Structure 1
């Protein structure tokens, strides 16, 4: 083992004020990496998970559902900056509907659920050291969202990036902040505990947590899912959606043959020569939404039994210390995914939910759709899809990938796509007002750069 590297990393984390529990978890994964741990899950080691209950079919007692929601906290993962879309600030503050950001709409959903079900329903964000200030400033515009005795957020831990050549903490004088990275959203369990938020929630009488990404407006508070989870008695359960050809890269659950545990397998955990199994929507018919439910008491007890280490599968992420400079020092980031905790809890289960609970925005294609007339926002802050199926959007990444370029090319708002099956844009086009896409609409490369005139029907 590279004891010098681990010792240096532990000292660096301690000097930065990182919680001792987080340092211990980092040390666990450092040793696993140094011992040659692999995160691969071969197909012959698992059985596909092909049958689960659907939330639309199970019977839920209304009073029980309200009671379960009254003991639930909503936790939103909010550590991302949207760098893949060219953003340099908190992604959840990006405007998505009528000037309202993800955060604004999340608050609307929570406040509506509180009114409808007469529950407190705390909303708590897991921020990173890069998103905390902006998020708390934005929440100040919603003074009624806080719950007495509970914080509005807790901070995701951070850890040193490691030099790929010798596993020592990298130094980068040009920007010391780049010497650090988040440990993946699997850190939520450690951060909840080390921050004291888990104890505060339990002391306040909360028993269940529902966790999801802040850019997924479909993952709204649900008394029905809360009631199902409480009645199931399960310690942990993710929401799954049925796969389509567009979802073949998403992680899926399976049953590990060696011990019968349900596990999560992601693309990075699949041997390269077995990707045809991974992408087979009939062999693995459900994908993981990253909407998770877990029992706070069981989490506390399990972490205590395991001395703070759940032992989630390691994800080894090879990058450069400056992500924008491919010639900078190669580094390794040690990460875990929160969904892999499904294997840490005996009796974990899963539930199938409608596609409406999975509306993430990872690209400007997704953003156009979310801003379009395909969706309407109801009184509960929920996005309701108007047509039977959403339009497939494909914007030329050369001109629309970055949010600044996207905004510049839709100065009057995005086109109407309610009547469209698909919208494909090739080349550099700026759209006028009231453009309507119908059927399989396409704007080709010829004539680019140019303008799509106001009122055009594609």
Structure 2
């Protein structure tokens, strides 16, 4: 561990931290080392900001337009060869707490009684059956989701997929005032610990032994995506392109809309492709970063990475992604957790590229407003794939804002007898105590605001187009 750039005070902090961490029996030696490395790098104040004048817009060689990819051979035997090199990995460490659920977010029901995980399994089953291949599914859990996921995965025991689960690292939260690990100060249970972001996927794949096992089966590429992104399905054209061009890393990016202004973007910087996140942008350039004129694409977090390259870089301890400090509070104690993001690793891989993919490959469900979109007639479901309804003319999805009454999944579901038809909807804003009957159609721009203390019921079969509704008399 290099402490060359640390002040005397910081060196003392690390030395105290080292002896405190050595007594934490809940975590492995690999985790202790990884944690101390991260804290050391953080204290040494590695440059986070980029020099703005050096940023260049990537060329089409670096961010390849999706429609220039070579079509894949129609021969099923060729497709099987491709798929036999692939592993699908879903980031499954998140809890559904924002949507009022306990347990892993991937078990929220998305559509027709099926959860995110059900859909992922059905998609891969379909591929394996169609081409006679064996694409395994890996789930990277956190200590928060591990036990629940093991129970849930049992229901797929008879499917034609090998499902592997492994845990990402577990690191102690740091008390800000004395830099001691929280579990050494008090017994905060799970709240004393944190999973250090999805950048941890690379060392965790190696430390869990999963990477070696996959390489021994002849696997070459892993497709990594968030479990809650319904658009992140296996794409043969992308896989074929990476194998043919020996690209070790590929980030799927997609054109930015005003809803995505905070998302990271790809830049060319000092001759390499690099992810630029909002946290690295100097204050005076934030508005420029958010504009969709200069930075036209953003990171979907659909990543394709060569397994041998992961092994090489993890063993060389070369993946030094930007550190994202995340301040929290636990029982009145201010704590710090240090995280990294998998997208930031792009600059360490050889022949790394972005591919500018259609927006349909980015369909995350982060809130109940997203759930409304995917449960509506805007999408259809077939063989686990959620597809946009061709009857929708506008290429963009409607913007939907639901008030706090709809924030939790259970409340959201109870307020809709059935999900309205929204194929012709541009925007919807709902606040207050609003209840929807069945068979409702919403078109154009619709605002429904119930007056305080008033229960507003939208009747069955109502058709509402370009209207603001404040009471029954407006319907």
TM-score by length of 2: 0.88
> Which of 244, 262, 266 is the matching residue for 2:273?
262
Could you list the runs of 5+ residues in structure 1 that have no partner in the other structure?
323-327
Q: Which string of whole-angstrom CA distances, capped at 9 and with x for unpartnered residues, describes residues 414-454 of structure 1? A: 21111211222122211111111111122123474321122
Alignment of 1:188-267 (within 5 A): 188-257=201-270, 260-267=271-278
User: Residue 325 of structure 1 corresponds to which residue in structure 2?
Assistant: none
Q: Which string of whole-angstrom CA distances, capped at 9 and with x for unpartnered residues, describes residues 246-291 of structure 1? A: 221111011123xx12111222222232111211212111110000
**CA distance in 1 between partners of 2:370 and 2:439 (Å):** 20
User: Residue 326 of structure 2 corresponds to which residue in structure 1?
Assistant: 317
Go from structure 1 to structure 2 and tell me whether the alpha carbon gap of 1:430 and 1:450 turns closer, same or farther (over 3 Å shift): same
**CA distance in 2 between partners of 1:77 and 1:278 (Å):** 27
User: Residue 17 of structure 1 corresponds to which residue in structure 2?
Assistant: 27
**CA distance in 1 between partners of 2:275 and 2:158 (Å):** 37
More divergent stretch after superposition (172-181 vs 215-224): 172-181
Alignment of 1:18-57 (within 5 A): 18=28, 20-49=29-58, 51=60, 52-57=63-68
Q: Which string of whole-angstrom CA distances, capped at 9 and with x for unpartnered residues, describes residues 2-31 of structure 1? A: 134421453254x1132x333222212101
More divergent stretch after superposition (57-66 vs 282-291): 57-66
Could you list the runs of 5+ residues in structure 2 that have no partner in the other structure?
1-9, 465-475
Pairing 1:118–2:118 present: no
Q: Which has the larger radius of gyration?
A: 2
Contact 2:88 2:138 in 1 (8 A): yes
More divergent stretch after superposition (38-47 vs 363-372): 38-47
Contact 2:173 2:193 in 1 (8 A): yes
- Number of matched pairs: 444
More divergent stretch after superposition (245-254 vs 189-198): 245-254
Shift of 1:130: 1.5
Contact 2:379 2:386 in 1 (8 A): no
**CA distance in 2 between partners of 1:334 and 1:109 (Å):** 34
**CA distance in 2 between partners of 1:205 and 1:100 (Å):** 32
Alignment of 1:119-134 (within 5 A): 119-134=133-148
Contact 1:123 1:145 in 2 (8 A): no
> Which of 421, 426, 449 is the matching residue for 2:455?
449
**CA distance in 1 between partners of 2:16 and 2:337 (Å):** 14
User: Residue 376 of structure 1 corresponds to which residue in structure 2?
Assistant: 380
**CA distance in 2 between partners of 1:413 and 1:31 (Å):** 53
**CA distance in 1 between partners of 2:145 and 2:121 (Å):** 17
User: Residue 112 of structure 2 corresponds to which residue in structure 1?
Assistant: 98
**CA distance in 2 between partners of 1:9 and 1:378 (Å):** 53
**CA distance in 1 between partners of 2:460 and 2:19 (Å):** 61
Go from structure 1 to structure 2 and tell me whether the alpha carbon gap of 1:66 and 1:226 turns closer, same or farther (over 3 Å shift): farther
Go from structure 1 to structure 2 and tell me whether the alpha carbon gap of 1:35 and 1:380 turns closer, same or farther (over 3 Å shift): closer
Contact 1:240 1:288 in 2 (8 A): yes
Contact 1:43 1:277 in 2 (8 A): no
Structure number with greater CO (CA < 8 Å, separation at least 6) is: 1
Q: Which string of whole-angstrom CA distances, capped at 9 and with x for unpartnered residues, describes residues 149-178 of structure 1? A: xx5211111100001122211247463210
Alignment of 1:21-420 (within 5 A): 21-49=30-58, 51=60, 52-62=63-73, 65-145=79-159, 147=161, 152-171=164-183, 173=186, 175-257=188-270, 260-304=271-315, 306=316, 308-321=317-330, 328-379=332-383, 381-386=385-390, 387-388=392-393, 389-410=395-416, 412-420=417-425
Secondary structure of the structure 1 residue equivalent to 2:262: coil
User: Residue 424 of structure 1 corresponds to which residue in structure 2?
Assistant: 429
Go from structure 1 to structure 2 and tell me whether the alpha carbon gap of 1:173 and 1:397 turns closer, same or farther (over 3 Å shift): farther
Secondary structure of the structure 1 residue equivalent to 2:203: helix
**CA distance in 1 between partners of 2:450 and 2:53 (Å):** 46
Q: Which string of whole-angstrom CA distances, capped at 9 and with x for unpartnered residues, describes residues 296-328 of structure 1? A: 011112222x2x451111111111125xxxxx2
Contact 1:54 1:351 in 2 (8 A): yes
Shift of 1:343: 0.9
**CA distance in 1 between partners of 2:16 and 2:39 (Å):** 9
Shift of 1:390: 4.7
